[in-house]
Chains A and B, each alone.
Chain A
């Protein structure tokens, strides 16, 4: 007689696996998988709460399950101790789960105790139980079976209260009306029974295939004009095996209309249906239908009246794997169940495999017609025993994370370029066009290389190599120059290097200073040298603050811990250099930075223009390199000024600025940087 468990071999069996969310707060999700195990998952943290294997799980697999309505249980607690019986908090506790099996028995499992509570057998079904429904308040349980009967159980005594023949074929689904006085059953047709007398109240045509789900969608009739008798005017929903249409029926006062009032169309057989009951006329019914193809269709309608055309879904939700790389294509992840949260605005989705499903709360956005969620469930396959016990989750900390330490750009606010009023002028300047033709520039370049060939015959410095390295950004070449420990070599190179490479060099040094500490030690020598030699040049740059902001911050953060020491050090350096400066400078004179072009300013009006152009040239120093020494007239103008100051004075001025800096407490140079601290 026992037909054996496998519901899957029956072509007319529903496609899904019995599963249900616990009532009210949806704290648990119970799932009876095909291997006969009942698993209860915690929805909030996606943790396996418990697992139960019925003793007869192979012969009588679970065919349906239903949570008992919540009962109240006392909880904590008085709080002010001396007062009498204080606050006893309370929460709804759901702990009983009814399981129907393929052999006709019904098991009541207590999820609180983790053990079988009772077994309803005697006088019950002798064939596969298809559906179980708890009565909301009377403590009764209704079940229907392939043996064509509906049984009413008294759960308190675990005895059959009533058993009647529900249909001429197997009864596949049940639903209790919102007022608890009527029962819907679906066999060959859908019948509405009066529970008190067990008489048929209404007939509905039903589906061609067995009905897998029945649900009341409203608790109040659409028009509230006539008195409500508890059932008339209510809508209910039915879904069937192999049927892509969900029908909505209305219980009418006259017994004529037997066909469905409207229908919803979905892409495949419905597997799991959940809905929010509308409490008033304006509030639409929200319906979530999980199909066998793993999609969820959401419907949102106000049910009032008749609609011939099947309604399509307002929103479809799909889940897919990310599909790593270009080769693997994203694969769909089936959604197993979906339940509305109590706020009606979000949906709990259960997806993945039956054995290790993932439960996620997804906020609904009714405007989007299609939602595709990309989820990576590849690491969900490994069973996590340890975390289940310790309840610790470890967030991922990988090397891809960005690390900010003091001195790295981004750790401190970037120093912004000067106020934007110059931009306007700059654009004006650009529109003004080139004053120097390309031919002229080329000519100037030629002269320059010629001259250089003559002058740079000394081998104890690498200004050319450095310049080339900076221009081409050649790592090897720069390494060759910058990784020297010879202080003299550094000094000479810095002295001879062209001025326009000072800023690029400083930027390169900054980058290297942020790197490995070993190389940073070498860079400090260079930095010191550049700053002492070219301080005067640097101080003339109007956009120095944004250009060297990071360097400044870096230095500031690195010397912060020993400010007083650096004060002392700076003063000592100043003394020593002043003593030795006079002799030293004689030996290594800087090459004359001769003006290539002399531009006589015609009027003072263009003065502002000059400055801007200067800035421009510094910003786009690459361009300048191409043009090599054929500087624009403005530059030349500036250099001329410098020349005018005379070579002798240059070193002296360097010292002045350097000492000024050191008095300020750091070996950095520009007073302008101080302003940013405000």
Chain B
């Protein structure tokens, strides 16, 4: 039984991943990135999200590994808290409440108990770098109010702050100057670029800064594409800088490799440049990364880099500049022209993706499937270039046809328009271009729709354009003596008094075509292409048009720009009802009569679900989003839900997704947050238990021994506490109900005795280790050995008396013999 809570708006597709630099874990297995109010932990190998760390109440603005414990992660947020996480298990360890908005976070291994954050104190645009002392406390929530001021009047972006040379100084850039604060001397040096006084060449403002990990060297990126390497900056007079210039546009981010031998830079060119030895000659490139590089980060182990891109992806790159994995969210780089569509074949959501591509996004698994390259031209990312835009797309005939429209308009009169019709080839399981139409219309195409009636014998496509015509394209036989082929040709051109055609829409059975010409709706017979009738309400231009479905197929709905929603009856050719509603999105549900309309008001967007047959809405939800909703779509469910209450019935067969102006994809969910939260508590199903390998024996034990030796030398009187749970006396004392316990005096001696350490423990432990060492010499990669060692360890744990030691050695010998036998057998088998 489905629990019926109130319907809530849920985000899917994730927030942007490229807001801040991604951070690698110490072993490069995981990568962390901020995503809205969460921190996401991805595996660098499989590109899968391992954990989502949620707990912040507002945008997370910075993450850093804990320099003192590389299994922990600090994050800061606009909600004024710094949180410490155990990222392996996805658990929140501690919360430090700072109290003011935190804009970035930095950690330093030298500053043990404090972290650095960027705050803005009094005025809204003046930011300060302060150090926050994190008090040691066992409680979950700690107040951390001890702020000490480091630098004032800095840039808000964390890219403009860098700590250098093991925390000796901090460099900050803003506009035309670089300031370096030395922690020991507590002085600030300020270097101003000479040309900044000359306003003509004022394109060399600083954009980002990075510090060499070991040397006194600061690299700064500039607006004009130059990278400056600053040295000798201890002296205000004698400082020098060298210039590296490859980028032709702004340097977006810089990063030094772990050893400092190379510098990485990236920008709008979508090329990662590696400057080796900080010289201009010695550089390597990784080109064609697809979108502007916004951030670069380097793993502490030094084997991986990663770049965050403006199209919401993170590319993980090997040290040898080879991309190894892509973590791709919903592409959010550009505006969405095509709207939301569903590919009938893959059931994926389709919308504009990378430039010139359609992205296919799986809603079930909430990740991108692939990008379909429609324009097939090398994308040159440069400021001021007018690109070919993919403006319209539609699927027809159960996914067998895809129509795309691309346009490029440099000037008012120079419109380049192209329509492509792709056929899905079942043999090769991919789209093949069937017909390419240059300039299908004289002006922009405003609407595109296929006739998706089930029994239409001939695929039909209608395009409506601002040039005042709508064209009907049909698939015809195009074969000649050389080949058998089909191709699309224009079948009919229609117009209505030179008005601009703004929308078109086929009725469910495909018998009628409705085309709106500004304020007028015209109905055409799809067999003879005769104008059947016109509707005109004089209520502004028609913005949306759709036919009713199933039992409501006799209705036609139109939403106008003046905020009127009209419903016409096609049988009586009269207005059935109208309502005052400023409709932004109107989408029919393919599986029911329902139509969803989203209206826009000054406070937010409201959802109305209604049937065309009655003007009373089935369901209203106010304030689904604060922003303007741009597109919406109903997605048929694979398995229908069974909501019984009337308010949710519209969600039974389809799910409604909508996209806001800031390109967050949202949907409606009926499950309560609590219900969803509970299973997360029982996170991992199984503990990790991997059998020990020979390497583990060599390395692991060795290290353990060293540690022990160290301990012995440091503290000779180290008391080894026995494990409490192994002592029966203690467990009896603790677990027996109070009312059946004997008197305390009786228990006392037993308890104290149990806590005493027997002297033999040590020797008992050392012997088996020696045996281990012996055994390693002959150890082979076989499973039997593992059994053996485990048994030895078991016995050594439990053994406390001297007599057991003897038994142990005997049993060991036995095992050893057995082991040898097995070992020989194994060799023989070879």
Interface segment out of the listed A65-73, A265-273, A293-301: A65-73
Q: Is the interface of A mostly helix, strand, loop or mixed?
A: loop
Cross-chain contact of A115 among B45, B438, B478 (Cβ < 8 A): B45
Q: Indicate if A393 sits at the interface (CB-CB under 8 A).
A: yes
Q: Indicate if B235 sits at the interface (CB-CB under 8 A).
A: no
Cross-chain contact of B429 among A90, A360, A392 (Cβ < 8 A): A360
Report whether A50 and B46 are in contact in the complex, using a CB–CB cutoff of 8 Å.
yes
- Kindly provide the distance from the CB of B438 to the nearest chain A CB, expressed in whole angstroms: 4
Task: Report chain B residues within 8 Å CB of A457.
Answer: none
Task: Report chain B residues within 8 Å CB of A400.
Answer: 483, 485
Interface segment out of the listed A371-379, A491-499, A511-519: A371-379
Using a CB-CB cutoff of 8 Å, which residues 49-74 of chain A contact chain B? 49-50, 55-56, 68, 71-74
Q: Indicate if B189 sits at the interface (CB-CB under 8 A).
A: no
Interface mask (A118-144 → B, CB under 8 Å = 1, otherwise 0): 110110000000000000000100000
Cross-chain contact of A75 among B46, B366, B433, B687 (Cβ < 8 A): B366
Using a CB-CB cutoff of 8 Å, which residues 447-506 of chain B contact chain A? 471-472, 476, 478, 483, 485, 487-493
Instruction: Give Cα A25–Cα B472 distance, bound, in whole angstroms.
Output: 39
Report whether B428 and A376 are in contact in the complex, using a CB–CB cutoff of 8 Å.
yes
Instruction: Give Cα A49–Cα B491 distance, bound, in whole angstroms.
Output: 45
- Kindly provide the distance from the CB of A1 to the nearest chain B CB, expressed in whole angstroms: 7
Q: Indicate if A341 sits at the interface (CB-CB under 8 A).
A: yes
Report whether A401 and B489 are in contact in the complex, using a CB–CB cutoff of 8 Å.
no
Cross-chain contact of A88 among B54, B373, B433 (Cβ < 8 A): B54
Task: Report chain B residues within 8 Å CB of A116.
Answer: 690
Report whether B437 and A44 are in contact in the complex, using a CB–CB cutoff of 8 Å.
no
- Kindly provide the distance from the CB of A22 to the nearest chain B CB, expressed in whole angstroms: 10
Report whether A44 and B427 are in contact in the complex, using a CB–CB cutoff of 8 Å.
no
By the criterion of a CB under 8 Å from any partner CB, how many residues of chain B are at the interface? 107
Name B360's closest neighbour in chain A (CB-CB): A45
Taking A89-B669, A156-B686 as contacts, is the C-beta distance between A76 and B43 under 8 angstroms? no
Interface mask (B685-699 → A, CB under 8 Å = 1, otherwise 0): 111111100000000
Cross-chain contact of A156 among B435, B489, B680, B685 (Cβ < 8 A): B685
By the criterion of a CB under 8 Å from any partner CB, how many residues of chain A are at the interface? 90
Best-buried of B58, B370, B679, B683 by chain A (most CB within 10 Å): B370
Cross-chain contact of B686 among A90, A118, A376 (Cβ < 8 A): A118
Report whether B52 and A75 are in contact in the complex, using a CB–CB cutoff of 8 Å.
yes
Interface mask (B66-95 → A, CB under 8 Å = 1, otherwise 0): 000000000000000000000000000000
Cross-chain contact of B323 among A46, A111, A389 (Cβ < 8 A): A389
Task: Report chain B residues within 8 Å CB of A117.
Answer: 686, 688, 690
Instruction: Give Cα A206–Cα B49 distance, bound, in whole angstroms.
Output: 44
Total residue contacts A-B, CB cutoff 8 A: 278
Task: Report chain A residues within 8 Å CB of B490.
Answer: 404, 410-414
Instruction: Give Cα A209–Cα B545 distance, bound, in whole angstroms.
Output: 65
Report whether B11 and A87 are in contact in the complex, using a CB–CB cutoff of 8 Å.
yes
Task: Report chain A residues within 8 Å CB of B360.
Answer: 45
Task: Report chain B residues within 8 Å CB of A409.
Answer: 489
Q: Indicate if A406 sits at the interface (CB-CB under 8 A).
A: yes
Q: Indicate if A157 sits at the interface (CB-CB under 8 A).
A: yes
- Kindly provide the distance from the CB of A346 to the nearest chain B CB, expressed in whole angstroms: 9
Report whether A395 and B365 are in contact in the complex, using a CB–CB cutoff of 8 Å.
no
Q: Indicate if B825 sits at the interface (CB-CB under 8 A).
A: yes
Q: Indicate if B321 sits at the interface (CB-CB under 8 A).
A: no
Interface segment out of the listed A78-86, A430-438, A580-588: A78-86
Task: Report chain A residues within 8 Å CB of B679.
Answer: 71-73, 90
Task: Report chain A residues within 8 Å CB of B638.
Answer: 341-343
Q: Indicate if A213 sits at the interface (CB-CB under 8 A).
A: no
Task: Report chain A residues within 8 Å CB of B431.
Answer: 395-396
Report whether A113 and B489 are in contact in the complex, using a CB–CB cutoff of 8 Å.
no
Task: Report chain A residues within 8 Å CB of B323.
Answer: 389-390
Cross-chain contact of A391 among B371, B485, B639, B676 (Cβ < 8 A): B371
Q: Indicate if B368 sits at the interface (CB-CB under 8 A).
A: yes
Q: Indicate if A398 sits at the interface (CB-CB under 8 A).
A: yes
Using a CB-CB cutoff of 8 Å, which residues 398-443 of chain B contact chain A? 422, 425-440, 442
Q: Indicate if A312 sits at the interface (CB-CB under 8 A).
A: no
Taking A74-B54, A391-B368, A412-B490 as contacts, is the C-beta distance between A375 and B427 under 8 angstroms? yes
Q: Indicate if A277 sits at the interface (CB-CB under 8 A).
A: no
Report whether B364 and A27 are in contact in the complex, using a CB–CB cutoff of 8 Å.
yes
Task: Report chain B residues within 8 Å CB of A360.
Answer: 429
Task: Report chain B residues within 8 Å CB of A576.
Answer: none
Report whether B433 and A76 are in contact in the complex, using a CB–CB cutoff of 8 Å.
no
Instruction: Give Cα A124–Cα B369 distance, bound, in whole angstroms.
Output: 40
Report whether A105 and B439 are in contact in the complex, using a CB–CB cutoff of 8 Å.
no
Using a CB-CB cutoff of 8 Å, which residues 349-402 of chain B contact chain A? 354, 357, 360, 362, 364-366, 368-374, 376
Report whether A392 and B686 are in contact in the complex, using a CB–CB cutoff of 8 Å.
no
Q: Indicate if A500 sits at the interface (CB-CB under 8 A).
A: no
Interface segment out of the listed B191-199, B324-332, B561-569: B324-332
Report whether A76 and B686 are in contact in the complex, using a CB–CB cutoff of 8 Å.
no
Q: Indicate if A171 sits at the interface (CB-CB under 8 A).
A: no
Report whether B328 and A155 are in contact in the complex, using a CB–CB cutoff of 8 Å.
no
Task: Report chain B residues within 8 Å CB of A379.
Answer: 428
Report whether B46 and A113 are in contact in the complex, using a CB–CB cutoff of 8 Å.
yes
Name B787's closest neighbour in chain A (CB-CB): A122
Taking A44-B365, A361-B345 as contacts, is the C-beta distance between A402 and B436 under 8 angstroms? yes
Best-buried of A55, A155, A400, A410 by chain B (most CB within 10 Å): A410
Cross-chain contact of B50 among A72, A113, A398, A560 (Cβ < 8 A): A113
Best-buried of A46, A89, A342, A396 by chain B (most CB within 10 Å): A89
Q: Indicate if A524 sits at the interface (CB-CB under 8 A).
A: no
Interface mask (B788-800 → A, CB under 8 Å = 1, otherwise 0): 0010000000000
Q: Indicate if A2 sits at the interface (CB-CB under 8 A).
A: yes
Report whether A121 and B10 are in contact in the complex, using a CB–CB cutoff of 8 Å.
no
Cross-chain contact of B626 among A44, A46, A80, A410 (Cβ < 8 A): A80
Instruction: Give Cα A341–Cα B13 distance, bound, in whole angstroms.
Output: 23
Instruction: Give Cα A42–Cα B664 distance, bound, in whole angstroms.
Output: 25
Cross-chain contact of B430 among A55, A79, A391, A395 (Cβ < 8 A): A395
Task: Report chain A residues within 8 Å CB of B487.
Answer: 402, 410
Report whether A79 and B493 are in contact in the complex, using a CB–CB cutoff of 8 Å.
no
For this complex, 24 residue pairs linking A to B, each with C-beta atoms less than 8 Å apart, are A2-B829, A45-B346, A56-B781, A76-B14, A112-B46, A113-B50, A117-B686, A118-B688, A118-B689, A121-B787, A158-B686, A375-B428, A379-B428, A389-B324, A390-B323, A392-B357, A395-B373, A396-B433, A402-B487, A403-B435, A403-B437, A406-B438, A410-B487, A413-B492
B interface residues (Cβ-Cβ under 8 A, vs A) = 8-15, 29, 35-38, 43, 45-46, 48-50, 52, 54, 57-59, 290, 323-326, 328, 345-346, 348, 354, 357, 360, 362, 364-366, 368-374, 376, 422, 425-440, 442, 471-472, 476, 478, 483, 485, 487-493, 625-626, 638-639, 664, 666, 669, 671, 673, 676-677, 679-680, 683, 685-691, 781, 783, 786-787, 790, 825, 829
A interface residues (Cβ-Cβ under 8 A, vs B) = 1-2, 25, 27, 42, 44-47, 49-50, 55-56, 68, 71-81, 84-91, 95-96, 103, 105, 108, 111-119, 121-122, 139, 155-158, 322, 341-343, 358, 360-361, 373-376, 379, 389-398, 400-406, 409-414, 560
List 14 additional A-B contacts (Cβ < 8 Å) besides A76-B13, A560-B442: A50-B46, A68-B685, A72-B676, A113-B29, A118-B689, A342-B638, A375-B426, A389-B323, A391-B328, A392-B354, A393-B372, A401-B434, A402-B434, A403-B436
Complex A-B, nearest 4 residue pairs according to Cβ-Cβ distance, in ascending order: A410-B489, A72-B679, A114-B45, A395-B431
